[in-house]
């Protein structure tokens, strides 16, 4: 069975990583401390970046 998600109040960093893995947006890599972002996870990342870049443009 899949690992349960850590409570956010207990360990925020682990909670975030658990959510990303459980949502199948990324997976652990062979390199310690690194994750491989899957294509749909990367698409979400690009949308977030474009949204924040637009919100920071001067008027």
**pLDDT attached to residue 54:** 73
Judged against a pLDDT cut of 70, whether residue 59 lies above it is answered with no
> Domain ranges in the chain?
12-55
Distances (CA, A) of 30 to 17, 27, 33, 34, 43: 16, 10, 9, 8, 23
Three-state DSSP class for residue 27: strand
pLDDT digits (tens, 9 = 90+) for 14-49: 999 999 999 999 999 999 989 999 999 999 989 988
Q: Are 30 and 38 in contact (CB under 8 A)?
A: no
Judged against a pLDDT cut of 70, whether residue 56 lies above it is answered with no
Reported confidence tier of residue 1, pLDDT bands at 50, 70, 90: very low
Reported confidence tier of residue 58, pLDDT bands at 50, 70, 90: low
């Amino acid at each position: 069975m899949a690992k349960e998600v850590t409570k956010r109040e207990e360990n925020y960093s682990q909670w975030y990583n658990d959510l990303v893995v459980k949502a199948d947006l990324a997976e652990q890599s062979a390199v310690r401390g690194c994750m491989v972002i899957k294509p749909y996870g990367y698409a979400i990342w690009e949308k977030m970046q474009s949204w924040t870049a637009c919100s920071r443009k001067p008027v």
